[in-house]
Structure formats: C-alpha cells, structure tokens
Structure 1
Amino acid sequence: MSDTDSGQFHVTRLYHPSHHVTDLHAAEEWFERVFGRPSRPLSEMTKKAPASEGYPTNYSSFTPISDVLFDTIDPKLYVLNGVQQYADVDGPTLKGFGWYVDGIVDAYRRLKDLGIAMVGQDGVVAEGDNPPSAPGSPMPIFFTVPDSAGLRYEFLPQIPFLLDHRLVPGWEVPPVSDDDPLGIERCSHHTILTDRPDRALRLMVDGLGGTVVHEGRNEVLGATSTYVHLADAVFEYAVPDADGPAHSAWAVNAPNDTYHSITWKVADLGRVERHLKEQGVDLRIRTEEVVVTESETSLGIPWGFTTALTTGDPRNAETPR
C-alpha cells in the first residue's frame, strides 16, 4: 500500500516533531545560535483571536527549519483543566511527532480497526466511532498510546496555522541560503529506535499507507533499519544491536520505542563541522558521509548531518540546489 492509497483519508504532511525541555528560552537561544533559526511562541496565535478557555499558550514555541516545523515544549507549563499533561523531564529530549490528515475521521477508524489504542488531548481513552476533539473546540485531534503504537503519534486535520511556514500557498522546499550556518537543504529522515518494528509498521504501513523504501544496516547506529516514506518525510525504524552504541538510548523507554534523532541533508559537511565546533557543539561521529553531534551539547539530540538522502528515498530527485 502506498501513502497515496489509504482508503478515504490521506496523510498530507508531517506536522511537527515534539521536543520536551526544562527551559524554553534557552532552547530558543540555542536554535538561533546553532541553527541560525528564530523561534516563535505559540502565544502569537492568540494575538488576533483568543485561545480556547482554559487552554495555555505559554508552553510551546515553534522553529521552522527548511521542510520541518520543530515544536519545543516545557511540560511544566502544559496544564489542561488543572492537570499537567506531560511528565517533567530532567533534560531536553525528543518525544514524538504527528501528521496533518485529510479525512481524519476515516484515519481514526482505520487505526481503531487495527486495534491501535488512542487517546484525546486530555488523555481520555478514545473509544467511540468518532475521534475526540480538542478541549473547547470541535477540531478532531487524537494520539496513539505508546504501548500500542510504540510512540505517542499525533493526528489532526490540516487547519490554518499561523506558525507553520509550509502552509503559505505555493510554498516549496527552499534552496540553501548563504546565511544558513549549517547549509541545510532539507530533512533526510527521523530515527526511531525499537525492538518491535512489526508494531511500528502496522501503524505506518498497514494503518497510514506508508511505503517501505529500504531495509539494511546502519553501521553508525549499530542497528538494522527499515525506512518508511510517508507523506513528505522518511522515518527510520532501527533495531539496535545488543552491544551497539544505540542500545542504551533505546532502553530508556523500553519496551516502548525511542524517538532518537533527526538527520539533515546538507550542502557541505565541512561547513557543518566548522560551525558546530565554533558554537561549542561536540561531535560524536565524523565520517566522509555523516556528522553526528553529542546530545549533551546539542539540546539532548544527536543531530545527524549527511550529504545524501537514504537509499530508496523518492525525494532524491527533488532536493533543492
């Protein structure tokens, strides 16, 4: 099944990765300094229209990075009806991501038919024939339960969203800017560590209509990986070797999956290496094909940088120059 043949619904675009931090302002400063990208707070959405009653707007900021909208969240500030919805974190960490969906009711029913457990934005189990809606709003929105799907994945319709740069009519992945200190062309892929790729593929392929585009070894991670193309992105589901460098990172959330890293396609690895070192970001790996940062000096994420998209990626012919 392809990502364009999913019955009565269509996954249109990756919405955003979610990143939980202890200090929003520090994260915003890091993205500005290291990625050369300004962030915008969620509160900008309520300048002309008030937020739903009781819904906080101070807990999140969004950073546009080429074809990705990156969402940073302080879980202490995300409180609905007096209840903090996300657990505190000791340090910054990737948590999950989600998609814009056309025909979201049918998507919800498809996942429900597959036995994938879901909840609403308030954490209440979704059991009805129709998806739950956002608090104080009729907009459908739901999330998978990690025990059932591996991660907390989010689903919502593609509504107007002021902070999403990609929703401007006619938007395309931009060429590399001379002002971009990292020379980012686009996102290559998102890496999820798992010991149950079958669980992930049930959601991504059987449920959402994604396509497996490559299977093989990732020697940098020390893992055997399956790459899935869905909508506008590629997702690597990597099974770490028991004695490999990624095994301990997976074990943090075991038996659930771990959203481990994001890898960017860039114009020049030398440019990346020089800038990261200038900004005090240490490198874990540097080969002719890839640069990977030390997570301790890069917001808890081992960011990857490469000059080539993954084997089988259908976007290979689309990368801007």
Structure 2
Amino acid sequence: MSDTDKQQFHVTRLYHPSHHVIDLREAEAWFERVFGRQSRSIAEMTRNAPASEGYPTDYSIFTPISDVLFDTIDPKRYVLNGIQQYESVDSPTLKGFGWYVDGIADAYQRLKQLGIGMVGQLGEAAEGDDPPSAPGSPMPIFFTVPEDAGLRYEFLPQIPFPLDHRLSPGWELPPVSEDDPLVIERCSHHTILTDRPDRALRVMVDGLGGTIFHEGRNEVLSATSTYVHLADAVFEYAVPDADTQAYTDWAVNAPNDTYHSITWKVRDLEQVARHLKEQGVGIRTHTSEVVITEPETSLGIPWGFTTALTTGDPRHAG
C-alpha cells in the first residue's frame, strides 16, 4: 500500500470483540464475579431515543475491561426483519471483532480493491461503490466475508456511543484499580488461529495498514505466530502445530480462522491465579510467564494473563 492510500482513511480504535452466549444473565454474573466488572445492556441506548422500528434492544451487554469494550450477544435475541441474524450456539464462543474507522468509505474501497468480499448488516452483498448502511439509518457499516478475510471483521465510523467508556472526553488508559481482582493493566493481544496467515495479513496489513512487529514461536500454544499492531490493539495470527489443542480449536471453524482468546497484561500473576481458583475457574496453563484458563469454566474462552507484552510491541512506551 502506498503512503497516499494509507492517508485516505484511519483505523482509530478496536470497536469491540463479539462473544456469543446462551444466557446473557449468566455471562453478566460471571464478568462481575470473576473480572469484577459491571456490564450494561444495549437497552440503555434507547432510553432517551427510540430504536429503529423492529430493532431488538435486549440481545447484548457491554462490559468495559481496561482498554477493551467487550460485547456479549445472545444470537437468539438478535432478530432483524423477523430473521435471526446469527446462528444459535451450543456453548459460549468468541466470534469476531471490528474497528472504528475515520474515512470509512475509503477503507471500504481499499478492501474492495483487494478483492475482499463484504456484506451489510443484513447479510446483503456489498457490491456498490459506497459502503452499505445500517437498517433504517444512514450510518455506513459493513463486514468482511470470512472466506476472503478469515474472520467476519466489522467496520463503522466512530459514532457517539454512551456504552463505550473509552469515548469519554480525555479518556486515557487507567492505572490498575485496587478493587480489580485480576489487577489488569491493559489488553496484551487477541489471538486468532489460522492455517492461512497470508489471507489475514492481506486484510490487516495490505488493506488496513497494520504493522507486523514480531514473528516467532508461541510455545504455550505450540504455534508459529505473527503479531500485528493496528490502531490501539495487537493481534496474534497463530498457525498451530498438528495434533495440539490449538489445532483442534482451529479446526472447529476450518477452513476459516478461529478467534481463540484474549490475553491481558496484569500486575501480579500469582494474584490472578489465586482469584481464578477461588472463583472456581479452572487453569489450563500456569507458568512463571502466563496463566490460561480452562474454557469450560470461563465462558468458553481460554483467557490469557501475562506480566509482559509481546517482544517489539510498539505500545511498550505507552
């Protein structure tokens, strides 16, 4: 991508990870008990202004966790025009994530130039010169097709969104709260399992202007990983070895990629391990450098906790 192309749009911030669950109340209680975080319902968005006709207001909760806004969705409740938009799940699972974009029409055109298939919010193919808009709204919003991008990535402009704590005027990465049972400093990285890192990097680097800053082995996952910095976040694209747990986790969505986990940088790893055990959360891995939870006891996610960011992470100074 040329410098001119890069200047046409700017990916400003990770919007949110999307997590699909069976029971929103159970998820809300789990985040309060384990992460010590309160969640807020999407219904709060319509207290002062009605939702678009037919748009559901009970399908999602948002949980602020340091520099991440975490979105939990009950697919059964997400019904537009009488059609359930996401397949129901048998167990909780991470699904995808997206970004706020300044100059979203140019970002759409860039991905289109690269031959990346995209759809609108109702699943309609995005084939025009302009990006599709939200149902009943002029706001542009679109998603990549997993077959072309590996995952369903979301793109929208940075709109006023009261449930996003990071959009408050003057917001900065907060210090560790003394009330935080997991002593989280910030998000370290998001891990995506893939057998085609070239496909993902075509979107992340060639399309969106992300930067590869580290490549190497992830011995905990038994995978070969490429780390990309984009906007305010880091993404690990990991190719797992055969006959490993990570390979099995990837194969669930093969030939597409799998959004596997989120790893947090924390102040005290032993405090994290103690708290997780006290809350009945199983631990899959516990070394001097990392703790990883058992998904079966942690909303389907192998959450990671570490005391060090990835080598070369450009946010080290931040």
Fold in common (TM above 0.5): yes
Cα deviations by residue, 1:105-156 (Å, 9 ceiling, x for unpaired): 0000000000000000000000000000000000000000101100000000
- Asked if 1:231 corresponds to 2:227, the answer is no
Deviation at 1:271, TM superposition (A): 0.6
Deviation at 1:231, TM superposition (A): 0.1
Instruction: Within 5 Å, give how 1:74-89 maps onto structure 2.
Output: 74-89=74-89
Measured in 1, the distance between the counterparts of 2:127 and 2:199 equals 20
Measured in 2, the distance between the counterparts of 1:252 and 1:158 equals 33
The code of the aligned residue for 2:12 comes to T
Cα deviations by residue, 1:241-268 (Å, 9 ceiling, x for unpaired): 0122310000000000000000000000
Decide whether aligned partners of structure 1 residues 45 and 3 sit closer, same or farther in structure 2, where only a CA change above 3 A counts. Answer: farther
Percent of matched pairs sharing the same residue: 82
Measured in 2, the distance between the counterparts of 1:122 and 1:109 equals 20
The residue that corresponds to 1:203 in the other structure is 203
The residue that corresponds to 2:165 in the other structure is 165
CA RMSD of aligned residues (A): 1.2
The code of the aligned residue for 1:68 comes to V
Cα deviations by residue, 1:194-218 (Å, 9 ceiling, x for unpaired): 0000000000000000000100000
Deviation at 1:174, TM superposition (A): 0.3
The residue that corresponds to 1:146 in the other structure is 146
Measured in 2, the distance between the counterparts of 1:29 and 1:146 equals 31
Q: Secondary structure at 1:169's aligned position in 2?
A: coil
Deviation at 1:5, TM superposition (A): 7.0
Measured in 2, the distance between the counterparts of 1:3 and 1:235 equals 23
Q: Secondary structure at 2:7's aligned position in 1?
A: coil
Q: Secondary structure at 1:201's aligned position in 2?
A: helix
Deviation at 1:3, TM superposition (A): 11
Decide whether aligned partners of structure 1 residues 253 and 146 sit closer, same or farther in structure 2, where only a CA change above 3 A counts. Answer: same
The residue that corresponds to 2:316 in the other structure is 316
Q: Secondary structure at 1:246's aligned position in 2?
A: helix
- Asked if 1:296 corresponds to 2:296, the answer is yes
Structure 1's consecutive aligned runs of 4 or more residues displaced over 2 angstroms after TM superposition are 1-5
Cα deviations by residue, 1:260-279 (Å, 9 ceiling, x for unpaired): 00000000001100000000
Q: Secondary structure at 1:71's aligned position in 2?
A: strand
Q: Secondary structure at 1:6's aligned position in 2?
A: helix
The residue that corresponds to 1:48 in the other structure is 48
**8 A Cα contact 1:2 1:211, kept in partner:** no
Deviation at 1:317, TM superposition (A): 1.4
Measured in 1, the distance between the counterparts of 2:115 and 2:187 equals 31
Q: Secondary structure at 2:302's aligned position in 1?
A: coil
The code of the aligned residue for 1:77 comes to R
Deviation at 1:2, TM superposition (A): 10
Measured in 1, the distance between the counterparts of 2:263 and 2:179 equals 20
Deviation at 1:54, TM superposition (A): 1.0
The residue that corresponds to 1:101 in the other structure is 101
Equivalent pairs counted in the alignment come to 318
For structure 1, list consecutive stretches of 5 or more residues without a partner in the other structure. Answer: none
The residue that corresponds to 2:73 in the other structure is 73
Decide whether aligned partners of structure 1 residues 253 and 76 sit closer, same or farther in structure 2, where only a CA change above 3 A counts. Answer: same
Deviation at 1:187, TM superposition (A): 0.1
The residue that corresponds to 2:113 in the other structure is 113
Normalised by the length of structure 1, the TM-score is 0.98
Measured in 2, the distance between the counterparts of 1:22 and 1:268 equals 32
Deviation at 1:184, TM superposition (A): 0.2
The residue that corresponds to 1:252 in the other structure is 252
The code of the aligned residue for 1:253 comes to N
Measured in 1, the distance between the counterparts of 2:86 and 2:138 equals 23
Decide whether aligned partners of structure 1 residues 82 and 50 sit closer, same or farther in structure 2, where only a CA change above 3 A counts. Answer: same
**8 A Cα contact 1:117 1:144, kept in partner:** yes
Deviation at 1:77, TM superposition (A): 0.3
The residue that corresponds to 1:132 in the other structure is 132
**8 A Cα contact 1:3 1:211, kept in partner:** no
Instruction: Within 5 Å, give how 1:269-280 maps onto structure 2.
Output: 269-280=269-280
Q: Secondary structure at 1:161's aligned position in 2?
A: coil
Deviation at 1:4, TM superposition (A): 11
Measured in 2, the distance between the counterparts of 1:79 and 1:265 equals 36
The residue that corresponds to 1:307 in the other structure is 307
The code of the aligned residue for 2:166 comes to R
Q: Secondary structure at 1:270's aligned position in 2?
A: helix
Q: Secondary structure at 1:155's aligned position in 2?
A: strand
The residue that corresponds to 1:59 in the other structure is 59
Deviation at 1:7, TM superposition (A): 3.0
**8 A Cα contact 1:6 1:209, kept in partner:** yes
For structure 2, list consecutive stretches of 5 or more residues without a partner in the other structure. Answer: none
Measured in 1, the distance between the counterparts of 2:282 and 2:271 equals 14
Q: Secondary structure at 1:311's aligned position in 2?
A: coil
Measured in 1, the distance between the counterparts of 2:165 and 2:246 equals 33
